[in-house]
Amino acid sequence: MSSLKRLAPRLALTGLIVAAAVSGAGLAVANAGQKADSPNRPNATQPSTSNAPASAPGVTSPERVAVPVAAIAPGLHTVDWKNATLKLPRFQTDRYCAGGVVTFRNGLAVTKTGTYRILRPGKKAVYGQLTGDRLDEAVLPVDCSPPNSEYASHLVGVTGRPGALRVLGDAITTENWGISIDSVRITGGQALVTLTERLTDHPRTQIRGYAWTGTEFQQVSGPTKFPEPVVDGTNFEWSTATLTLPFKAASTTVQPNNRSCPRVTVKFTHVQDGVGAVQSNGCEYWVHKIATVDLNGDGSADSLVKITATRLGTGDLTTGAEWYFAYTFRNGKPALISFVTAAGLDNVNDNAKPDVTATSVRASIREVRVTQVFRSPGKPNQTLNRTFRWSGGTRFAVNMPAPNPRADLAP
């Protein structure tokens, strides 16, 4: 049977690799007795500490804004917005959320191009002077969702009176649907809008100011977009990483029968979050993110990863070798800190149990703790809890030697 047909049930590029169950729950890895690159071997991940900034000072929620009643346009503050009829602008450039006359019923309206929502729960209209006519306008959130999609947030300014409401030009909107409009405050002729970037482990907040020019709302203060987040262990996606395999030599030995895999640069294919696989130069490589933690004590979030190498064409599809490596990040890319220890080393005999198997791993600041099982012919198995502490420079120092010296030899 050819290696291609033999490997088809487990390769990422055939489509069935997605079924690989690589569990990341908890902090322990329970994989004793399995072969090196078994997709059923679970891994441990550790959450990082959020550094989300506090809400920007000086921003008042809509319901706290005090507005002089005498300044409000007659009747505007009495409008039942959840049952209002508004001529809305186009919210999207394609055929969805095209706007037009929209009549709301209990806060919702369904048209041919999308579903509109006005004053979602917890939100109120905010009143203030925007057009310079000494009368107050209303600013309120109107969201729109194309079929089978999520709502995108928009703000519309409205002037006039009940029965003769007029939307002021275009909407105040965000650069993408992952940014929410939290609140708005009208002061000094500007609508000061507080926005939060939602789709991130560390949400960020901005305040942007908009003024009415007579024909449109124009941003006049604050940042125009959220900057790209700093890439570190908290947000780097290892499953699709482009990586030069961290082997010391041009190739490294993988069992059985002293086969080898080359040091090459590969781009992994996503299997699941933090897990990727790829075939290259006659070998199959896997990467698993194990933990996110400050491994070298420099205050930034690093990654503890497991890398597996298996030679294609062997009799046993689960043979190979795997190791733990520590990575930091420089200029948005992973940079190797150090080799730690072996996660799994197979025996030279294809039919023998692995020489070394890691059954659990935990990482904390400057430290990695690994439980390893060592097997030797004719001897009882040895299970050791070993601690690797960052000693500075380029290596982790271990608290006890390995019964099999291969475990602590970098590939």
What CA–CA distance (Å, rounded) separates 120 from 140?
Answer: 10
Predicted TM-score (pTM) of this structure? 0.55
Paired with 105 in beta bridges are 108
| Residue listed under structure tokens 């891994």 | 43
Structure-token match 């933990």, residue found:
291
**Of 346, 337, 135, residue with least CA distance to 254:** 346
pLDDT over threshold 50, residue 55: no
More confident residue, 54 or 289: 289
Name the pLDDT band for 21 (thresholds 50, 70, 90).
very low
pLDDT tens, 203-214? 889 999 999 999
Q: What would the mean pLDDT of 165-179 be, rounded to a whole number?
A: 90
Contact 354/36 with Cβ under 8 angstroms? yes
What does each C-alpha distance from 246 to 281, 327, 330 come to in angstroms?
16, 10, 16
Please provide the DSSP assignment of 18-86 as one string: GG------SS----TT--TT-TT------PPPP-PPPPPTT---GGG----GGGBPTTGGG--GGG-EE
The residue-averaged pLDDT of 86-95 equals: 91
Who wins on pLDDT, 255 or 5?
A: 255
Distance, CA of 362 to CA of 304 (rounded, Å): 10
Res 352: pLDDT: 84
Inform me whether the pLDDT recorded for 330 exceeds 60.
yes
Which band of pLDDT confidence, cut at 50, 70 and 90, is reported for residue 38? Answer: very low
Domain residue spans of the chain: 3-48+233-408, 62-221
Mean pLDDT throughout 35-44? 39
Q: pLDDT averaged over the chain?
A: 82
Give residue 163's pLDDT band: very low, low, confident or very high (50, 70, 90). Answer: confident
Give pLDDT, residue 318: 58
SS3 239: helix
Confidence band of 41 (pLDDT split at 50, 70, 90): very low
Residue 198's pLDDT is: 82
CA distances in angstroms from 377 to 60, 64, 353, listed in the order given: 72, 76, 10
